Amino acid sequence: MRMATEIDPSDPAAAAGRAAARAALLAAPGPVGRPRRQALARLTDDWLAGLLAAAGAPPTGVALVAVGGYGRGELSPRSDLDVLLLHAGPIARELPERIWYPVWDSGTKLDHSVRTVAGARSVAAADLKVQLGLLNARHLAGDPALTEDLRAAVLTDWRASAPTRLPELRELGRARAERQGELSFLLEPDLKEARGGLRDVVALDAIAATWLADAPRDGLDAAARWLADVRDALHLVTGRATDRLVLQEQDQVAQRLGVLDADALLRRVYEAARTIAYAGDVTWRAVDQVLAARGGRGRRVRRAGIRFAGAARGAVARGTVERRPLAEGVVEQDGEAVLAQGARPATDPVLPLRAAAAAAQNGLTVSYATVRRLAAECRPLPVPWPDEAREQLVTLLGAGEAAVPVWEALEAEGLVRRLLPDWERVRCRPQRNAVHRWTVDRHLVETAVRAAAMTRRVARPDLLLVAALLHDIGKGWPGDHSKAGEVIVRDLAARMGFGPEDTGTLAVLVRHHLALVDTATRRDPDDPATVEAITGVVTTLPELELLHALTEADALATGPAAWSGWRASLVDGLVARVADRLAGAGVRPVETAPTAEQERLAVEAVRTGGPALSLRARSEGDPGTEPMGVELNLAVPDRPGLLGTAAGVLALHRLAVRSAGLRELDPVGSGPVLLLSWRVAAEYGELPEAARLRADLRRALDGSLDVARRLAERDAAAPRRRGIPTPPPLVAVAPAAASATATVLEVRAHDAPGLLHRIGRALDGAGVRVRTAHVSTLGAEAVDSFYLTDAAGRPLTAERAGAVAAAVRAVLG
């Protein structure tokens, strides 16, 4: 028990002395931060202890208890006091008033209550906020045994009611976030109530008190201390108990904290808030898993053979947990992407991107332990990146909204900065323009999310997604951010392994990402110079498509004020005029001469009358790395349905088609041979033997292997996974000018196992010949062109071409 002072603390002279001591503490150059908050709490503790003694409280049966924020032993300069007068039996009616009135007279805001232990438990059971405050109960004065009884009872009740209370706590946090927004992105954030603020730290401590789960502690305490320090400075600058860091106070707060300026202040506030928000996301997922396991809802199967490993105390689950393969080295467990048992992060530098892409494409996130392990064990990617790394980045970005939590997980552990060194300059960088709703880095991610919904509009969705991610990367440098961004993106594109032509396209998109909207809204649309301003920037229709989609994605990601029906109509009108000027300037595929290996296979196919193939592993990056995929050349005497059949056999062997080409050869003048050139990658790292692949192709071609039935059976047996929203497939007949000798059918769709097989079967069923084909999988998006003729080798009529397109559209759903 605290000893009462000889001076009555309610005496005006004593009150004045306490006020002077408090003022001196706040004015002193040190201590600041947590030490000053603790000193303020100790000063207040002594004052309240004296008030209890002066009020004539009995030595037993009565205790003064700090709860809520005050209970944590820290006070900001303008903090309220949350105090509970606890009693075991009847007390004098005037006792509480003798304590509360001096507090009120001092001008301090007081939240007070008078209860027994049983009464406090009863109120807590009915009011979650009261229960949270009591979790921090701290003895101030009076009977310490009474305070200890309260603490023990409250903790027992909290742990017993956790399965019902924690969902309620989560809902409180969600409602708060909807009202206050995310602290990490607000120009005038509420340091306490916004998502990622101090109130979330209280929630994390409450979860830890249940013994069911605990938050990731790395950086969490430092983040909470920094937000509390900013709140202290805000109280001192304004002289008010406020938690909102408004624009006009930011420079003064920064100065008081010794920070360079308001932007530097906000950036550190955002970083702290992200640390807290990410810790919350991780912790709530752990809570969900533990509660599901306790309720018998955990997914367990004997065949998996993996025991549930709950890191938190109290997580008891027997049996095994199902692990479903997602990609090479990556499986799904408990609603998260985790590393497979055989994964080798130390020798697989692409694994972080592969895990991220697999998680996002399946609507999952990457587990906290997995991201930590990847950050600790994976080597940096070689420069330039292997093809697979670039494809996995595009696949991640193409997942749209599902990519955001995965990106946040990578960013929290420093993996994004390792992949893109220039990201650090835009990370958490505030944007003072009120039109922008995000920080620079989050705006870039949100632009990629918007662009993912527009991938059907462009022939190169990979370039659109990467340009969206990097279009404002120059904002971390002085001067025109578009010009700076062009220089940066050329370096980054080369690092990612893009070729010179693609690097040039990305540079054009970043340099001129504002050109369309600026020109459309500021120039006369009927002036020929307006169109020339754009044709001087983009020189082909594919580039124009990319710039148009990027412009819209950028504006939509900026905020509601940046894009409207009026702006969209002006930009669309300008794009239509520019497209008319560029008509005919599109780039068409260029046929290259067959290689000696391809000609040899064609001759062998004529000689044997069956398929001839070669299979060559492709290794990328450092010497000694495992094969990233295979190049497969297949020559077969011409016959109907070849494309769909061959694609189906590859799908049966779990080979994902990254690119493919089909052409006709007549090596010995005895009839055409179809040559299919593929670049494929094994879904789970195991490449098939060439002999087995050749045997299955022969069986499929002679009809002894029903490829369609086998694929259907496998799909039916596979566990159903959560999908992600994707744009609908686009199947269109290109204008006649695209080819003088064939009808060109363009297909753009989200990639899936067996996609090319289904398209090939639809074309075969329509009775058309596929003379040549150009197939590309860019990230998770398929961009295919098929040159079709009738049986006589003529282009299709418009009516028949429309029917073929409808047939392909039908099999794609």
Helix/strand/coil for 459: coil
| Residues 239-291 pLDDT 10s | 999 999 999 999 999 999 999 999 999 999 999 999 999 999 999 999 999 99
pLDDT of residue 641: 78
pLDDT reported for residue 398: 97
**Burial class of residue 692 (count of CB atoms within 10 Å of its CB; 0-12, 13-18, 19+):** exposed
| Residue 789: strand, helix, or coil | strand
Q: What is the pLDDT of residue 319?
A: 46
Instruction: Give pTM, 2 decimals.
Output: 0.88
pLDDT at 5 over 80: no
Opening angle at CA 387, ends 381 and 389, nearest 5: 45
SS3 of residue 479 by DSSP: coil
Provide the percentage of residues in the chain whose pLDDT is more than 90.
66
Give the pLDDT confidence score for residue 314 in this predicted structure: 38
Q: What is the pLDDT of residue 587?
A: 44
User: Given a cut of 90, is residue 461 above it in pLDDT?
Assistant: yes
- Mean pLDDT for 464-476 is 96
Asked if 117 and 85 count as a contact pair (C-beta separation under 8 A), the reply is no
For residue range 497-541, list pLDDT tens digits in order: 999 999 999 999 999 999 999 999 889 887 889 999 999 999 999
- Please, what is the average pLDDT of the chain? 89
Contact 705, 764 (CB under 8 A): no
Per-residue pLDDT of 354-363, as tens digits, reads 999 999 999 9
φ, ψ dihedrals at 78, nearest 5°: -115, 25
**Predicted local confidence at residue 10, as pLDDT:** 61
Q: What pLDDT, on the 0 to 100 scale, is given for residue 316?
A: 37
Rounded Cα–Cα distance for residues 398 and 779 (Å): 7
Average pLDDT over residues 443-458: 97
pLDDT above 70 for 183: yes
Higher-confidence residue: 37 or 631? 37
Average pLDDT on 709-720 reads 80
Q: What is the average pLDDT across 638-665?
A: 85
Best CA proximity match to 763, nearest among 755, 751, 715: 755
Distance (Å) of CA 311 to CA 213, 221, 364, 370? 8, 20, 20, 13
Q: How is 157-205 classified by DSSP, letter by letter? A: HHHHTHHHHHHHHHHHHHHHHHHH-BGGG-SS-BTTTSBTSHHHHHHHH
- CA-CA distance, 409 to 278, in Å (whole number)? 7
Please state whether beta strands 138-142 and 110-115 pair in parallel, antiparallel, or not at all (unpaired): unpaired
User: How far apart, in whole angstroms, are the C-alpha atoms of residue 725 and residue 258?
Assistant: 47
- Cβ atoms of residues 685 and 344 within 8 Å: no
Whether the Cβ atoms of residue 261 and residue 251 lie closer than 8 Å to each other: yes
Strands 330-333 and 324-327: what pairing?
antiparallel
Runs of H (alpha helix) within 239-381: 247-257, 262-294, 351-361, 368-377
In this structure, which long-range contacts are made by residues 611-617, counting pairs with CB atoms below 8 Å and at least 24 apart in sequence? Answer: 611/635, 611/636, 611/694, 611/697, 611/698, 611/701, 612/636, 613/690, 613/693, 613/694, 613/697, 614/690, 615/687, 615/690, 615/693, 617/687
Tokens read off for 680: 């494929």
Q: What's the pLDDT at 721?
A: 65
β-strand 110-115 against 81-87: which pairing, if any?
Answer: parallel
Share of the chain above pLDDT 70, in %: 91
Angle formed by the axes of helices 707-717 and 755-765, to 10°?
140
Q: In what order do the strands lie in the sheet with 324-327?
A: 324-327, 330-333, 336-339, 365-366
**pLDDT above 70 for 313:** no
What pLDDT is recorded for position 790?
92
> Among 4-18, 72-86, 321-335, 523-537, where is mean pLDDT lowest?
4-18
